[in-house]
């Protein structure tokens, strides 16, 4: 497990076939104190730092952390596709 924003990133892997190539899909959870868009960027930055040939990402889920009726964090689960070499 790797960590982003002091939270573990959870990953699940699947293999898919994309137009004659083989790709994997990994699920990444990322968190931001600012916005959903920033959480997506945090997740994609981390994916690009560890994976080669990232081709796409799909937002599977979004959620927020709430304290005292106020949003304190934004979370996304991303399905990131990358082509295997």
Q: 77 phi and psi, to 5 degrees? A: -110, 125
Q: Where are the alpha helices (DSSP H) in 16-60?
A: 36-50
Tens digits of residue pLDDT in 16-33: 555 677 888 999 999 999
Domain count, the chain: 1
Where residue 22 sits, what CATH number does that domain have? 3.30.1660.10
Longest distance between any two alpha carbons in the chain, whole Å? 51
Is the pLDDT score of 2 beyond 60?
Answer: no
pTM value is 0.74
> If pLDDT is split at 50, 70 and 90, which confidence band does 85 have?
confident
Q: Provide the domain limits for residue 52.
A: 2-83
pLDDT digits (tens, 9 = 90+) for 35-60: 999 999 999 999 999 999 999 999 99
């Amino acid at each position: 497990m790797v960590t982003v924003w002091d939270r573990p990133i959870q990953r699940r892997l699947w293999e898919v076939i994309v137009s004659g190539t083989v790709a994997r899909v990994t699920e990444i959870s990322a968190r931001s104190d600012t916005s959903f868009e920033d959480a997506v960027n945090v997740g994609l930055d981390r994916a690009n730092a560890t994976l080669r040939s990232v081709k796409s990402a799909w937002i599977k889920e979004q959620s927020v952390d709430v304290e005292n009726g106020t949003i304190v964090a934004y979370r996304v689960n991303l399905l990131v596709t990358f082509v295997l070499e």
